[in-house]
Chains A and B, each alone.
Chain A
Amino acid sequence: MALILDLMLQAVQMVLVVAIAPAILGVTRKVKARLLRRIGPPVLQPYRDIWKLMHKEAVLAHNASWLYRVAPYLIFAATWAAAALVPSYATGLLFSWSADLIAIVALLGTARFTLALAGMDVGTAFGGIGSSREMMIASLAEPAMLLIVFAVALVAGTTQLSAIATLFATGSVGLRVSLGLGMFAFLLVAVAENARIPIDNPATHLELTMVHEAMVLEYSGRHLAMIEAAAALKLVLYFSLIACLFAPFGIAGPNAGAAALGFGILAYLAKLMVLAVLLPIAETSVAKMRVFRYPVFVGSAFAAAALAVFLLFVSKGF
């Protein structure tokens, strides 16, 4: 019975992240539109988009290989697995032992690798340039991400997410300079990874500066629906990571009762909502960068994370 209950709680987490991902994306689009003095599409529009794409015919290029057809499902699966592992509303879930930060980085790396391969598969110029840029951003952002992981792990003594969240939620760690630097770096990395504005523009097509949209330009129908869903899921994944690592308040601990779990879900949704409002505000206040400026932008994330790790090596007090 206990096992069934544990499985149920894990299933709630898995379904929750997928179910709210398009809504969170819709909220960011709506807030952004309002900031630009437009009405904007309704918040539930991403659900309708995905529904519509699911029912459309998937058009394939003549020279598309099997990889091109498999890639959307692989990307979605890897992203979903990663998002389902991040502790969102409770730390003591059944699969939380496997929720390791490095494993999550690896899952995201797999999804990105598959996407880049799919971008190059058909052999159009746009796909190639998108893949090339995506890999450039990845080669800059992943070292920074791993350094953030090290900084958090040095403070918490583990890379296991649920253990970190449990420790930080008790408040015994306190405010740390290294964690502040880590959060700053993580926000920059999250912007770069989710193809948001200073790095990439999520709302544009057919522009020479685009990265993510260039890779998925050839996709249509259900394949495109999977990729769009995966992109929304990735955004929720990064929001969940921010909430879990740097603001784990209200998260239900191991062996929590129904009330604590319910409060955990509410707190999680509230945190997602706050982040979904803050992201478009940050996006509208900056301009899109030139491609050659990316190393400086992501490099500053790397510098901040390196500083945090360095401070922790010198003294545990930071």
Chain B
Amino acid sequence: MLGQIGLGSAADLFQSIPEDLRLRGRLNTPAALSEIELLATFESMARQNTAARRSSFLGAGAYSHYIPTVVDHILSRSEFFTAYTPYQPEISQGTLQVIFEFQTLVCQMTGMEVANASMYDGSTALAEAVLMAERVTRRSKIISSSAVHPEYLEVVQTYVQHAGIHLQQSLYCTDTGTTLTESLAALDDQTAAVIVQSPNFFGCLEDVASLSDAAHRVGALLIVAITEPISLGLLKSPGACGADIVVAEGQSFGVPLSFGGPYVGLFATREKYARQMPGRLVGEAYDKQGRRGFVLTLATREQHIRREKATSNICTNEGLIALAATVYLETMGRRGLQEVATQCAQKAAYAAKRIGGLEGFSLPFSAPRFNEFVVRAPINARHLLSMLAKDRGITGGLALSRYFKDRPNDFLVCVTETNTRKEIDAFVEALRSITAS
């Protein structure tokens, strides 16, 4: 081929790169591995991830749920995972119809009117929601509950640091574990939005409807964040509680933990704000013969047309993970989503009751909860969890001191439909015997 285009050697291909910029010698990266060697290398590294192999009660924004086998089979179809953004609708109808169904399912679950084709994850979706609230209201103050996932708030802070937006945190009640409506004193006519997470970081259900009323009284928007969307199978939707923007982490919908990603951000809002949304949108369209199809639409909001005036810089989103969520939601269906949610709530209630009854243990927060709850141990939680892991092979949850230095003995426990009663009982027994000695 080189000869056919009149070149002598591969080096001639790079003549437009000045000689002194061309790499002399080879890259100092490893030599090529065969398939057998490569798998052995990765298997060896995977074996060192001892936490992946045992019964776990760790949640806090990433959850172990049952994933129907069909999800990964459909994800592995070449036609889905080796395609790109559907720029040519005539040969991308598969992807486009999936996204249209995804948008519909997100609307149904959240109780909202429009949803986009996905964001990177829950945390960046929240940051984009804040930027959108500023665009809609032309106001610059954001008040967030401090019971929102701490990493989400860190991401929001990074995104808004040069946008002239001020993020303030309001306190949560140390008795109930929920956001104090009185602490919203800073809420005024300069406030663009109030952020609340429900179930919140401590697993407690927030009174979203009251917070919504408080925000709306001063003309601010209410942004609801959800890290555990399985809860939507049972809980009143944020839309029904008056939310203006709903963002969620979609990982619970059929996506493996995978050390934190790729996950998928869900983003939904009211019809009247559709043109202020970030990200891609798929809409219905017809050809000359009246056949229904789907296209990327309302693109004039986006970076490739509006450049610096775009509603967001996002381009590549999380298409394949949105597909996983779509397959999950459709496979579980109406009744499966209700049953999963119910099992999570029942098992968590059972575990909470048993752990709360142990000598020296208590449940510091009184608010109703879904599948996560905070436990106060008689000893340092980090130490306790470390012993649980080493001696009993159980991951007991998250030591809250990772994010809340004033809570050394508290840890966050998550129970899902994948935790059997036997596992829960063993966990309770281990907590008892470790602290008894």
Q: Does chain A bind chain B?
A: no
